[in-house]
Amino acid sequence: MQRDLVESVNKFGSKWAINAEKWKPDKEEFEFYVNQVQPDEQARIKKFRFEIDRKRALCGRLLIRHLVSLLFSIPSGEVKLGRTEKKKPILLSPQLPRDRGELFEFNISHHGEWVVLVWSHTSVVGVDVMDYSKPRGSKSVESFFDTMKSSFTDDEWLTIKAEDEEEKRLKEFYRHWSLKESYIKAIGYVHIYEICYAAKKFTPRILT
């Protein structure tokens, strides 16, 4: 599985991505890897109905453990993960020296074929990945947009719908969705509609 790992590195941290669809484990191999993660993680993974969902969830937990193992030079079996009150994943063990002000932030997302992990030692991070597929259960992209109207501000919808082709408008929708979800996950899972409400009170800027 590691041979399919794609990595992007900069001075702040790195991004890892893996195509879960390409991983074709048999039942024995899959169970072996499931047993490498914590019992609570095993339970969440096994709740998924479809195989691809179970694979994506497992790949995500394995990526985190592999990253911590490399960064801190410890066996992956010694890695202990947890969640904050707002459900953001955190590292419980090994513990970082507080007096040195060390930071280890990470976040993970999976959708479609891909599982993506980001980490940083300088700032909080959030990530969201989306498959550019046409929404199921909607007659058209426009009808889909109607059902998602409360997800964005009026100005955001103007940007999304400014594209001249339906496929481009859908991609712009997913881009905005992923940016907003990434921010939400970075700060700790505030509901997306709260972000829309807050955006009406100030002019947001995206710094690149």
User: Using one digit for the tens of pLDDT, what is the confidence trace for 14-61?
Assistant: 889 999 999 999 999 999 999 999 999 999 999 999 999 999 999 999
Distance CA(140)–CA(138), nearest Å, equals: 5
CA distances in angstroms from 72 to 82, 118, 152, listed in the order given? 17, 16, 40
pLDDT band at 195 (very low <50, low <70, confident <90, very high): low
User: Are the beta carbons of 65 and 36 closer than 8 angstroms?
Assistant: yes
Distance CA(165)–CA(167), nearest Å, equals: 6
Four-residue CA torsion sign, 116, 52, 74, 80: positive
Distance CA(207)–CA(151), nearest Å, equals: 21
Q: What is the pLDDT of residues 65-78, one digit of tens each?
A: 999 999 889 999 89
This prediction has a pTM of 0.80
